[in-house]
């Protein structure tokens, strides 16, 4: 439906991501068979059969490895269409989309998985049956089915949720650190900046982050900057423009930084794509 809504189903070759991408839409991703190792905003996770993932706009998504038998369905919709029914779902607790070092997914049982497939088949049927009718009929029909699907997903998440786990202050700090990276990675690439924002010492912050993620705080910052660099290098921006966007002193400094973390220069990386 123009830029508002799309559905996709397929095998692993349909899911191929040769480089990280910025999600410019909202996505509901459902694994039918097999598995895939993916990364969403620094969190790596292996998706398996009957697992559902919600990917929000502006998140950086990348897959590492997928199985030969990997199959999926995908609902993709614009922020505009979401805003039209956001009040329908606002009151439901977003159990699996709250970022607390958790991957934004839930595992469904067979009955729940069948319901998701029922929605997919019904939405596909409606879209086909309304091919030659006025677009607002199709749009409204799909929009309300999508709203119903999201309400159902929240219900699944609610009833399948474990008893609430008490989040410690240390875990909260790590969560806040990641949120700050997503907000300030362009202008700040040193741990001290983030430690100051959190009112802790750089050493203490690094200890907490390593305990929760098995990465140093600096590694997390650099990893996100490199992901964003790779996204931009697959765009039409010049390398000079990219270095400016990422707030490096100059193109040469950006080139050395990128090569240090990837083993190749930005230009060679671009040529290899």
pLDDT tens sequence across 46-103: 999 999 988 877 677 877 788 889 999 989 888 788 777 766 776 665 544 443 346 7
Strand (E) or helix (H) holding 233: helix 217-233
Q: Which residues contact 188 (CB under 8 A, 6 or more apart)?
A: 194, 221
Average the pLDDT over each of 41-45, 96-100, 205-209, 218-222 and give the range with the smallest value. 96-100
- pTM to 2 decimal places: 0.65
> Which among 43, 28, 61, 47 is positioned nearest to 107, based on CA atoms?
47
Higher pLDDT, 241 or 105: 241
User: Any idea what DSSP says for residue 161?
Assistant: P
pLDDT of residue 222: 93
Average pLDDT, the chain: 83
**pLDDT interval class at 271 (50, 70, 90):** confident
Gyration radius from the chain CA atoms: 21
**pLDDT interval class at 214 (50, 70, 90):** confident
What average pLDDT does this structure show over 106-123? Answer: 93
**What is the rounded distance in angstroms from the CA atom of residue 213 to the CA atom of residue 206?**
10
Q: Which of 34-38, 64-68, 249-253 has the highest mean pLDDT?
A: 249-253
pLDDT of residue 98: 40
Domains, the chain, in order of start with CATH, read: 5-160 (2.60.120.280), 169-272 (1.10.10.60)
User: CA dist 199 to 65, 193, 196, 258, Å?
Assistant: 38, 10, 5, 30
pLDDT > 70? residue 18: no
Q: 58: burial class by Cβ within 10 Å (0-12, 13-18, 19+)?
A: exposed
Contact, 212 vs 177, CB < 8 A?
no
**pLDDT interval class at 221 (50, 70, 90):** very high
pLDDT of residue 179: 80
**pLDDT interval class at 27 (50, 70, 90):** confident
pLDDT of residue 87: 65
Sheet holding 105-107, edge to edge: 5-11, 71-77, 26-33, 51-55, 105-107
What average pLDDT does this structure show over 3-26? Answer: 70
**What is the rounded distance in angstroms from the CA atom of residue 227 to the CA atom of residue 91?**
34
pLDDT of residue 54: 85
């Amino acid at each position: 439906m123009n830029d508002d809504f799309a559905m996709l189903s397929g095998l692993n070759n349909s899911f191929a991501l040769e480089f990280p991408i910025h999600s410019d839409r909202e996505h509901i991703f459902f694994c039918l068979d097999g598995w895939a190792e993916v990364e969403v905003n620094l969190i790596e996770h292996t998706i398996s059969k009957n697992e559902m993932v919600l990917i929000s706009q502006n998140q950086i998504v990348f897959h590492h490895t997928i199985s030969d038998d990997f199959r999926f369905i995908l609902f993709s919709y614009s922020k505009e269409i979401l805003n039209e029914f956001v009040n329908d779902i606002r009151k439901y607790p977003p159990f699996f989309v709250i970022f607390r070092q958790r991957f934004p997914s839930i595992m469904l049982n067979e009955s729940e998985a069948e319901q998701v497939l029922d929605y997919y088949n019904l939405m596909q049927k409606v879209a086909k049956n309304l091919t030659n009718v006025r677009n607002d009929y199709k749009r409204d029909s799909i929009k309300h089915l999508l709203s119903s699907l999201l309400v159902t997903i929240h219900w699944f998440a609610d009833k399948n949720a474990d008893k609430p786990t008490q989040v410690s202050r240390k875990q909260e700090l790590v969560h806040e650190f990641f949120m700050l990276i997503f907000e300030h990675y362009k202008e700040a690439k040193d741990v001290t900046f983030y430690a100051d924002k959190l009112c802790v010492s750089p050493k203490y912050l690094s200890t907490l982050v390593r305990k929760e993620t098995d990465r140093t705080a600096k590694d997390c910052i650099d990893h996100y900057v490199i992901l964003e660099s790779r996204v931009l290098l697959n765009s039409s921006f010049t390398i000079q423009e990219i270095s400016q966007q990422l707030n490096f002193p100059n193109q040469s400094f950006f080139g050395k930084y990128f090569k240090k973390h990837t083993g190749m220069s930005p230009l060679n990386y671009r040529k290899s794509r």
